């Protein structure tokens, strides 16, 4: 009772998704702060490796449903199992990845449990709340912080009355760290046939083409990122050359992804991933709020822009005014000169 619950999403390759491991990391922190335990659920097929993957994150209890009918993901059986489980274990907080699966599942579960859900949180903090109207003080609520209004404002949302307090979080927003001393993890095997009914299997998957995830830029210490100002997909090659020289990864802003210059997996910002590398080089990126929110925690930021007034320059350590086509080859040249 009153524990923290994390839904562990299973990737195409059968692993626990990074975003779920990040949520387990956050869930562990919250559970310690509140003096409760961390519970997780994973639903899929051939789940032999899952316990091994989540144990290091300090999970106390893993609810495991292993059945062919649970992969590929469809909404109704997963929702029935998760809602049923939540009714049984009554967590105070339930966290889901803000992935296509999590954003399909969490609202359905929240509606069934008639509780509040906050999408795409960028920060989760425990705090108190005093309601003036009813003169009631709520202790240890989950502050769910999220960008709203197209990312132009930041809202803190609370659910004073309903439980669990549900939230989805995008990949890369929270840190992913194993526990110093993982708990002894108990495994509870869920009986899928007891929790699901025939009417939950109304969706017939005829065909699927899902590419495996090719890149994970969140792990890179050096990120060379391009925006709409790069002008073309061909010009992005310059970024790959600089990334190769410096040993980094290439990323892009939403505008660059929408323009087809670079793939979605490399998108940095509120609708992409959040990164915090040692060095972030922003090339031809003006720095919309939504982009800056995804990279401002980088240790060093260099911007290359023809416009000295670009908003990105306000958070840059070095603002280079110039054309990317001219500046990047020089950066490569002088890096090679000084590299030891």
Cα-atom radius of gyration of the chain, to the nearest Å? 22
**Per rule CB under 8 A, is residue 99 in the interface with another protein?**
yes
| Chain residues 321-340 in contact with another protein, contact rule CB under 8 A | 321-323, 326-327, 330-331, 334-335, 337-340
Least distance CB 187 / another protein (angstroms): 29
* Number of Cβ within a 10 Å radius of residue 322: 13
| Chain residues 303-322 in contact with another protein, contact rule CB under 8 A | 304, 308, 313-322
Which residues, 6+ apart, have CB-to-CB distance to 139 below 8 Å? Answer: 128
Rounded distance between C-alpha atoms, residue 304 and residue 306, angstroms: 7
- The correct pick among 1, 212, 234, 260 for binding another protein (CB under 8 A) is 212
- The correct pick among 135, 193, 205, 260 for binding another protein (CB under 8 A) is 205
Rounded distance between C-alpha atoms, residue 70 and residue 77, angstroms: 7
| Chain residues 124-153 in contact with another protein, contact rule CB under 8 A | 129, 143, 147-153
Please state, in angstroms and as integers, the Cα–Cα distance from residue 277 to each residue in 99, 232, 249, following that order.
23, 25, 10
**Per rule CB under 8 A, is residue 13 in the interface with another protein?**
no
Which residues, 6+ apart, have CB-to-CB distance to 204 below 8 Å? Answer: none
**Per rule CB under 8 A, is residue 18 in the interface with another protein?**
no
Which residues, 6+ apart, have CB-to-CB distance to 99 below 8 Å? Answer: 9, 17, 19, 171
The smaller minimum CB distance to another protein, of residues 53 and 168, is found at 168
- The correct pick among 19, 82, 86, 117 for binding another protein (CB under 8 A) is 117
> Near another protein by CB under 8 A, which window of 35-43, 176-184, 228-236, 293-301?
293-301
| Chain residues 234-263 in contact with another protein, contact rule CB under 8 A | 246-247
**Per rule CB under 8 A, is residue 289 in the interface with another protein?**
yes
Rounded distance between C-alpha atoms, residue 280 and residue 146, angstroms: 24
**Per rule CB under 8 A, is residue 278 in the interface with another protein?**
yes
Convert residues 54-93 into a mask of x (bound to another protein by CB under 8 A) and - (unbound): ------------------x--xx--x--------------
Contacts 24+ apart (CB under 8 A), 321-325: 324/226, 324/229, 324/230, 324/235, 324/238, 324/283, 324/284, 325/235, 325/238
């Amino acid at each position: 009772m009153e524990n923290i619950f994390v839904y562990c999403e299973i990737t195409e390759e059968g692993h626990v998704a990074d975003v779920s491991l990040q949520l387990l990391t956050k869930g562990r922190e919250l559970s310690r702060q509140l003096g409760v335990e961390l519970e997780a659920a994973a639903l899929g097929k051939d789940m032999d490796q899952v316990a091994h993957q989540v144990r290091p994150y300090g999970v106390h209890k893993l609810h495991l449903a292993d059945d062919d009918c649970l992969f590929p993901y469809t909404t109704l059986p997963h929702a029935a199992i998760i809602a049923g489980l939540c009714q049984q274990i009554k967590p105070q907080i339930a966290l889901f990845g803000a992935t296509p699966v999590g954003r399909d599942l969490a609202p359905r579960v929240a509606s069934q449990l008639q509780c509040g859900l906050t999408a795409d949180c960028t920060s989760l903090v425990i705090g108190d709340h005093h309601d003036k109207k009813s003169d009631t003080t709520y202790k240890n609520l989950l502050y769910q912080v999220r960008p709203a209004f197209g990312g132009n404002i930041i809202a803190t949302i609370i659910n004073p009355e309903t439980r669990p307090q549900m939230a989805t979080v995008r990949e890369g927003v929270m840190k992913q760290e194993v526990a110093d001393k993982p708990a002894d993890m108990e495994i509870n095997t869920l009986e899928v046939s007891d929790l699901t009914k025939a009417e939950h299997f109304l969706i017939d998957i005829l065909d699927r083409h899902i590419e495996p995830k090719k890149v994970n830029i969140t792990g890179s210490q050096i990120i060379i990122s391009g925006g709409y100002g790069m002008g073309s997909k061909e010009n992005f090659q310059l970024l790959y050359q600089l990334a190769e020289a410096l040993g980094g990864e290439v990323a892009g802003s939403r505008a660059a992804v929408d323009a087809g210059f670079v793939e979605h997996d490399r998108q940095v910002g509120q609708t992409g991933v959040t990164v915090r590398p040692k060095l972030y080089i922003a090339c031809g990126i003006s720095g919309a709020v939504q982009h800056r929110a995804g990279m401002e925690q980088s240790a060093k930021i260099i911007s290359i822009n023809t416009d000295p007034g670009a908003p990105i320059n306000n958070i840059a350590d070095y603002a280079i005014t110039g054309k990317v086509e001219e500046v990047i080859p020089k950066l490569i040249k002088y890096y090679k000169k000084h590299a030891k």
